[in-house]
Amino acid sequence: YYPGNYEDTTKNTIKAFISSDINLKENRRLACLIINQLLDKLNRIASKNNLEDITSVAIIPTDSWQMLNQQGYLAVLLEIGNKKIPKDKNLWSNDDAKNAILEAIDSGVKSYG
Q: Does the reported pTM lie above 0.85? A: yes
CA dihedral 33, 37, 38, 44 (to 10 degrees): 160
Q: Which residues pair with 15 in a beta bridge?
A: 58, 79
The pLDDT value given to residue 48 = 95
Q: Where are the alpha helices (DSSP H) in the chain?
A: 24-49, 95-112
Model confidence at 107, pLDDT cuts 50, 70, 90, reads: very high
pLDDT at 39 over 90: yes
Span 25-48, average pLDDT: 95
pLDDT tens per residue, range 69-81: 666 788 899 999 9
Span 34-51, average pLDDT: 95
pLDDT at 40 over 80: yes
Rounded to whole angstroms, the Cα distance separating 33 from 41 reads 13
